[in-house]
Amino acid sequence: MSAKKATSNDPLRDIPYYLRAFQHYIGWRLYLFFALTLFAVIAEGFGLLMLLPLLASLDGAAEDPTGVAGQIQNGLAALGLADSFVAVLLIIMGAFLLKGALLIGANAYKAYLRAQLLREIKGRLFDCYTRMQYRHYVGHSTGHFINVINGQVNGLLNSFTALVQLLSHLINAVVYTATAMLVAWRFGLLAAVAGVVILLLFKRLNVYVRDLSRCNPARPASSPSC
């Protein structure tokens, strides 16, 4: 379980490294979770966009809707559903039901991947322990091996959960921003710029916290590592 490459001090640059590390144990099945999350967010975005022609009709505007709302209205008219509120509501309800089903499937699959990762890691640890030399075993305390089996493995599983949650949130942010730009590109651009600024601020904060966590308090204050 030793890392083949030391992680950098940049949390964003570390994401591909951790993805490759987890992919080494559970394979390409890892990316199916992100695909399910992406389709769920797209379904939700489609449901939100379907509200535009419905709201335009309820507003009682004399002119025809333009932009994305007009395109959706034209699509509904081509299907013969432009004047059917019930059909539009059913489409919206179906989109959100699909989103819920995909999210349930994604969360269930994430739990399955976590269990597979746990089985793979502990299986490899057990194989290593069976081949361990007796001299190495007696040279370490029992607590050391218990910490590796429980504490370190649990930390690895928690990092896996945090990574997939982070990437799923990034997928949500990208799709929601794209949806906002379709509706009102100025608002979407403002949201994208604000998101990038916040991301950069949290990135600097994360680097600062990493530097503090790696600082050895036993060294003198003049040590360059602190």
User: Mind listing the pLDDT tens digit for each residue in 49-62?
Assistant: 887 777 766 655 54
In the chain, which residue ranges form alpha helices assigned H by DSSP? 11-26, 30-49, 51-59, 67-78, 85-130, 134-138, 142-146, 153-183, 185-214
pLDDT band at 5 (very low <50, low <70, confident <90, very high): low
**Nearest alpha carbon to residue 114 among 171, 167, 163, 168:** 163
Q: Check pLDDT > 90 for residue 122.
A: no
Token duo for residue 209: 């916290």
Cα–Cα distance, 52 to 72 (Å, whole number): 8
Q: Are 81 and 73 in contact (CB under 8 A)?
A: no
The ranges assigned to domains in the chain are 11-214
In 131-184, which residue ranges form alpha helices assigned H by DSSP? 134-138, 142-146, 153-183
Stretch 35-43: mean pLDDT: 92
Measured distance between the N- and C-terminal CA atoms of the chain, rounded to whole angstroms = 28
Q: Which residues of 100-134 are buried (b: 16+ CB within 10 A; e: fewer)?
A: eebbebbeebbeebbeebbeebeeebeeeeeeeee
User: Does domain 11-214 sit in CATH 1.20.1560.10?
Assistant: yes
Percent of the residues in the chain that have a pLDDT greater than 90, as a whole number:
16
Q: Are 105 and 36 in contact (CB under 8 A)?
A: yes
More confident site: 219 or 142: 142
Q: Are 141 and 8 in contact (CB under 8 A)?
A: no
What is the pLDDT of the chain when averaged over all its residues? 78
Per-residue model confidence as pLDDT tens digits over 134-193: 777 777 777 777 777 778 888 888 889 988 998 998 898 888 888 888 877 777 788 788
Cα–Cα distance, 116 to 15 (Å, whole number): 21
